[in-house]
Amino acid sequence: MATITTSQIIDTLKQHLNLSTPEIKEAKPQQPDIEYQPHRAKWEARTALRLAVDPSLPSTPLPAGFPKKLESPLVWEGSDWKDEKNWVYALTPSELDEIAEALKHFQGLDKPLGLVSQATFPLPTLGPVLSGIARELHGGRGFSVLRGIPVDAYSREEVVIIYIGVSSYVGNLRAVQDDNTGGMLAHIKDLSAVYDARAIGSPAYTTDKQVFHTDSGDIISLLALETAAEGGVSKIGSSWRVYNHIAEHRPDLIETLSQPWPYDGFGAGPCTARPLLGFVDDKMIIQYSRRALTGFQGLPRSADIPPISEAHAEALDTLHFLAEKYALSLDFQKGDIQYVNNLSIFHARDGFRDDKENTRHLLRLWLRNEELAWKIPEYLNANWQRLYYSLDPEKQVFVLEPEMRSVSKGVKY
């Protein structure tokens, strides 16, 4: 193997990572050359250079207690799934009638939307099917799609009631998604025509590609009100499969992921330090948002907080590109509800184009099934309490028209 000199390393860094020689000599802590949108050439160059500087990295022991390999139905690759009938449940006419009757029942109670539950939205036949989906999320492959909600047949409020009611059988608790407003429902839609780009701090409100990441909480659920004219493909990837790859080839990055990272609050909260990866009760749990580590558009990374390291940057890109390698693309149709185990599965979407007839618009809930819920790492406990247990149902707000969450504007809560 040819010897790589220090000058060659510096020249390559300057070419691929936009670092200057004086900066390298001074070795001052600074944010690596990494952006929200991953750059494969930079990732490959950074990986090659780090291995050239320290060839022992692949021999690093795994952190104490972390397994060499995970064995579970949650370990899968996109190529493992050939027929969407394995994960799509199409609602029958009788089940749709049952949903319509449950809607009428709830409306007759004259209660606030926060009180939609299994008790107020009765689904005697469909309920057990939805409970089966919940079990699949926690002990099976980790994802399912419910197909066939006739969203055009109902008003927006009725669609929201149906979405909440059906989802209450998958997860009985809903998380707060906007602390300022008590908002429990998020709209995922391009709002670049409504807000100045300098005010948009999340790709959820643009047509941009969303890289692989997780949201907050146990279960992420998305209902498609409308799909894009072009693009916007929904993708998921097994973080457990990604873990196995990294643990085998680059265990040093598991060490990096399991240590505290400086997480940007963008003014909506303080900078916090926590791991991206934890192993609790024989389960691998990952929770991270790339934009909180790189910034995005109207919310660049704060200059007054500690930067991430070169090891962090490599690990962050490794998560994305491996998730992309092992991903499954979902045919997300209008009226579909997608349920994903947010603790063990990454999700992403392609960039898209809207037109007058087709404007991509999703509704999102964060759910928790108290009966089936996994034990979470201690460093997530405070956030879980805030998400699921801080707001009485009577005070929960379900905004019917698209708006941007406060945290995506850097608004303090």
The string of DSSP letters for 375-404 reads: P--GGGHHHHHHHHHSS-GGG-B---S---
Does residue 19 have a pLDDT over 70? Answer: no
Q: Provide, rounded to the nearest whole percent, the portion of the chain with pLDDT above 90.
A: 81
Residue 75 within a domain: no
For residue 404, the model assigns a pLDDT of: 85
Q: Please report whether residue 7 resides in a domain.
A: no
In-domain check, residue 347: yes
Report the range of poorest mean pLDDT among 25-29, 171-175, 287-291. 25-29
Instruction: Determine which of 26-30, 140-144, 191-195 has the lowest per-residue pLDDT on average.
Output: 26-30
Higher-confidence position of 304 and 257: 257
pLDDT at 23 over 50: no
The answer to whether residue 40 scores a pLDDT higher than 80 is: yes
Determine what percent of the chain is predicted with pLDDT higher than 70.
Answer: 91
Mean pLDDT of 204-224: 96
pLDDT at 412: 40
Is residue 395 domain-resident? yes
Task: Count CA atoms closer than 13 A to 284's CA, side-chain side.
Answer: 27
Is the per-residue pLDDT at 20 higher than 50? no
pLDDT at residue 24 above 50? no
Taking the C-alpha atoms of residue 114 and residue 161, their distance in angstroms, rounded to an integer, is 9
Instruction: Flag whether pLDDT at 25 surpasses 60.
Output: no
Tell me how many domains the chain contains: 1
* Summary count for the chain: helices (H), strands (E): 11, 19
DSSP tag of 148: -
Which pLDDT score is estimated for 199?
80
What is the domain extent for residue 218? 82-241+314-408
**Residues whose CB is less than 8 angstroms from the CB of residue 190 and which lie 6 or more positions away in sequence, other chains included:** 205, 206, 207, 352, 354, 359, 360
Q: Round to whole Å and give the CA distance between 130 and 367.
A: 13
Q: In angstroms, rounded to a whole number, what is the distance separating the alpha carbons of residues 160 and 113?
A: 9
Quick one: pLDDT at residue 28? 62
Let me know if residue 140 belongs to a domain.
yes
Residue 31 lies in a domain: no
Give the strand pairing for 88-90 and 143-147: parallel
- Beta strand ranges found along 253-360 (DSSP E): 261-263, 272-274, 277-280, 283-286, 295-296, 299-300, 328-330, 337-341, 345-349, 352-353
For 136-165, the pLDDT digits (tens) are 999 999 999 999 999 999 999 999 999 999
Please count the residues of the chain: 413
Candidates 219, 177, 174, 176; CA nearest to 374 is 219
Confidence grade of residue 413 (pLDDT, cut at 50, 70, 90): very low
End-to-end CA distance of the chain: 55
Q: How confident is the model at residue 268 (pLDDT cuts 50, 70, 90)?
A: low
- Is the model's pLDDT at 302 over the cut of 80? yes
Residue 5: pLDDT over 70: no
200 within a domain of the structure (yes/no): yes
Q: What is the CATH number of the domain that holds 182?
A: 3.60.130.10
Q: Does the pLDDT of residue 235 top 50, yes or no? A: yes
DSSP 183: B
158-173, pLDDT tens digit by residue?
Answer: 999 999 999 999 999 9
Instruction: Please check whether residue 77 lies inside any domain of the structure.
Output: no
